[in-house]
Structure 1
Amino acid sequence: MLNRLKAILADFFQQADLVLLGLCCTATVYGIVMIYSATRYSNSNRPVIVQSVALFLGICMYIFLSMVDIEIVMKKWKWMVGFNIVFIGLLLTPLGIGGDTTGNQAWLQIPGIPFNIGPAEVVKITFTLLLAKQLAWQREEKRDLRSFRSAAMAAGHTLALMGWYVVISGDMGNALTFFFIFLCMAFAAGFALRWFALLFVGCGGGVAAAWMLDLIPSYMKNRFLVLFDHSYDVQGAGWQQTRSLLTIGGGVWFGQGYLQGTQTQAGEGSLPERHTDFIFSVIGEELGLVGCLVVIVLLAAIIFRVLLVAKNAQTPFHSYICVGMAAMLIFQTIINIGMCLFIMPVIGITLPFFSYGGSSVVTLFMAMGMVSGIKKRSPTMRRPGRPLPGRTIG
């Protein structure tokens, strides 16, 4: 058994993507250091301990999934469809708990696990795998990916999952992540641009109609209204982002110093959700613009690495998976930083690898482990200019 384990680890260190692992670990450790500062006022080390345990589990999952052949796993794709439906459905059981003041039922509290699990975090990965399988199957069956039928099949799959999740959880933020993953994967697969235009017009019209018919909850409307008028509902919908801007603005170029942030080290009411949704604001205050740029560079490097693996993937299926994983990171990064800068609505999207969240860290490492496994099974780098099926990636 010991010799077998040594052989597996030797194979991992020889063929897996150690650069990607190093970037992910660096980002997570950076996040843990800042989470300690953000929660220091509470005199509780639990968030740091949970995040550290999640990092260890994440590394284990990264190593394991680097060794797994996704092609073999996806032979049981019907089981994965059932898993998505049932796992989200668990939110309706006594295990489901609310994640914020809006009443969103978006978390599972499972006895014996030291952190709550967000089903969306796991389903983002399984959804990406299923959509990649669907797109690859359509290509293998010589389906015209530019046709309406092909576009409707992929869009229907996505909208069905989004609808199921939103109806049960009320969490629109993660539902939009599914939608963005679909858009990027469909674009990479070569879907006709006219279908994207039609989709945007349809979604835009639907949102406008829902707004005018007062079908959108008032708290959700207010989160958008404050973006256009920062003085609107400052004590309500705009409170978190107003405090976030104040916090970031206090850091200037090099910050006020680690553990020295005025708002970060103040009491409960100074900066809400400072270790989760607004960890970027904490970094801005204590480490300044330089610290924020390091965050952006690390996340950009991870995303670039994933897209590089996509470009050199052995099959379209593998390439689509990597594009989906990169899309997940891109969307969460843009939305979270935009939330902190008061240019995006607060929709409960955390900053990948940096924000507190055990299930988020573990599932992110799982996703990157799959990318590493794809890199491990890919041929040597293609010569520059060699195109992939669908649109060129990278």
Structure 2
Amino acid sequence: MKKLKAILIDFLQQADLVLLALCCVSTIFGIVMIHSATQFMNSERYVIVQTCALGIGIVLYILLSVIDVESVIKKWPWFVAFNICFMLLLIPFGVDDGTGNKAWLKLPGVPVSIGPAEVVKISFTMLLAKQLSWLKEEKRDLKSIKAIAFTGGHTLALVGLYFVLSGDMGNALVYLFIFAGMSIVAGMALRWFALAGTVAVGGLAFMWLFEKIPSYMLNRFIILYDHSYDPQGVGWQQTRSLLALGSGGLFGQGYMQGTQSQSAYSWSLPARWTDFIFSVIGEELGMVGCLVVLVLLSAIVLRCIDVSHRVQSAYASYICIGMAAMLMFQIMVNVGMCLFIMPVIGLTLPFFSYGGSSVVTLFCAMGIVSGIHKNAIKVRKPGKPLQY
């Protein structure tokens, strides 16, 4: 009991309570909107699951805030084994999430599905940070082909494994964006990313010309340039999303008063409590509500970046950058999906969209950032300001 009390006192004195407050406010805001978005089903299941995830997330945030990530990563082979084994669980226990992707684990005895990609993001970010910091410590040339092969090979191997097993392109791209953000900050040469981009564009052009891109994937890009292309099919979700956002105006139609958000027909605004929760917010709370959401999420991202500047350890700094990159990519893609300027690839809005494993993982990620913040305070000399 005394040890628990000591942990709580240490947490309250040195952990990042501002970051915790931002995460809690965002998640509670999301729960309130999920309640509205699921009223047509006459069930509080989603609200209950999300609330439980919030409670678990806060506990894990506290626990991870008192852990020294520098010590934990010394067991890096276990992280590698965990990433691979957890992904491989998709073979016997993977289930379709309704989009054709086998991206969820339904483990025996576990009442909820788990997204392995969400969980592995944390350990992947820590491993990649270890690789980059090791290259720095060994004074290796981060702009060399060996450095990019060392870190890029790790990333592509994990991304390839996940995509082959699940078919989930959305979360696979998140890993690539985390890699790009961390590597650029660490000092990797931009020419390698320009080369990778050129190869990717060339490959897509080749596949397009020879009709090697699956039609469902191709149509999601075509619809972005021609909104009149199959509006009753592939463009239905985003057409309804744009209509919901537009009808909200400045202050919205009112909480639990949205025309589409409260429709008894699930197809009126599809996935309204997950992928398109931002559209529900826009319809019921208007542009003001959407701006509040973006301000909260931006504050969380900036807090992660701020902590990255405060620490003396390159490894800890890269972790914070990786967490920020993860959030930034998901925010940009999800909001872009709702605005009909990005393809629908199944990425939810962090903290706001329904998803128990997503919320728990996000709180874990932010808990690690909080722990880094706490350690930064400890190493600071009395009376000496933190260096940026």
Interval containing the TM-score (normalised by the shorter chain): over 0.9
Measured in 2, the distance between the counterparts of 1:198 and 1:245 equals 35
Measured in 1, the distance between the counterparts of 2:263 and 2:153 equals 48
Which residue does the alignment assign to 1:133?
Answer: 130
| 1:12–1:160 Cα change, 3 Å | same
CA RMSD of aligned residues (A): 1.3
Residue 243 (str. 1) matches residue 236 (str. 2) = no
> Partner amino acid for 2:230?
D
> Partner amino acid for 2:37?
A
> Partner amino acid for 1:357?
G
| Same amino acid, percent of matched pairs | 63
Tell me which of 349, 352, 359 is aligned to 1:351. Answer: 349
TM-score by length of 2: 0.96
Measured in 2, the distance between the counterparts of 1:132 and 1:13 equals 27
Deviations along 1:365-392, whole A, 9 cap, x unmatched? 00000000000001449868x56xxxxx
Deviations along 1:23-63, whole A, 9 cap, x unmatched? 00000000000000000010000000000000000000000
TM-score by length of 1: 0.95
Alignment of 1:182-221 (within 5 A): 182-221=179-218
Alignment of 1:81-96 (within 5 A): 81-93=80-92, 95-96=93-94
Which residue does the alignment assign to 1:60?
Answer: 59
Q: Name whichever of 330-339 and 157-166 sits farther off.
A: 157-166
> Partner amino acid for 2:54?
L
> Partner amino acid for 2:229?
Y
Which 5+ residue runs of structure 1 have no aligned equivalent? 388-394
Conserved? CA contact 1:314–1:377, under 8 Å:
no
> Partner amino acid for 1:354?
F
Alignment of 1:330-345 (within 5 A): 330-345=328-343
Residue 22 (str. 1) matches residue 21 (str. 2) = yes
> Partner amino acid for 1:300?
S
Measured in 2, the distance between the counterparts of 1:113 and 1:364 equals 20
Give the CA deviation at 1:113: 3.2
Measured in 2, the distance between the counterparts of 1:97 and 1:161 equals 20
Measured in 2, the distance between the counterparts of 1:315 and 1:202 equals 34
Which residue does the alignment assign to 1:367?
Answer: 365
The DSSP-based 3-state class of the residue aligned with 1:377 is helix
Measured in 1, the distance between the counterparts of 2:28 and 2:362 equals 14
The DSSP-based 3-state class of the residue aligned with 1:236 is coil
Give the CA deviation at 1:112: 3.7
Residue 307 (str. 1) matches residue 285 (str. 2) = no
Alignment of 1:161-310 (within 5 A): 161-267=158-264, 268-310=266-308
Tell me which of 94, 97, 116 is aligned to 2:113. Answer: 116
Which residue does the alignment assign to 1:391?
Answer: none
Alignment of 1:5-16 (within 5 A): 5-16=4-15
Which residue does the alignment assign to 1:390?
Answer: none
Deviations along 1:322-375, whole A, 9 cap, x unmatched? 000000000000000000000000000000000000000000000000000000
Give the CA deviation at 1:314: 2.4
Measured in 2, the distance between the counterparts of 1:293 and 1:260 equals 19
> Partner amino acid for 1:246?
L
Conserved? CA contact 1:50–1:114, under 8 Å:
no
> Partner amino acid for 2:147?
S
Give the CA deviation at 1:214: 2.2
Deviations along 1:112-138, whole A, 9 cap, x unmatched? 434211000011111101100000111
Measured in 2, the distance between the counterparts of 1:119 and 1:19 equals 28
Which residue does the alignment assign to 1:392?
Answer: none
Give the CA deviation at 1:147: 1.2
Give the CA deviation at 1:99: 1.2
Give the CA deviation at 1:317: 0.2
Deviations along 1:224-248, whole A, 9 cap, x unmatched? 0000000101111101000101111
Alignment of 1:69-108 (within 5 A): 69-93=68-92, 95-101=93-99, 103-108=100-105
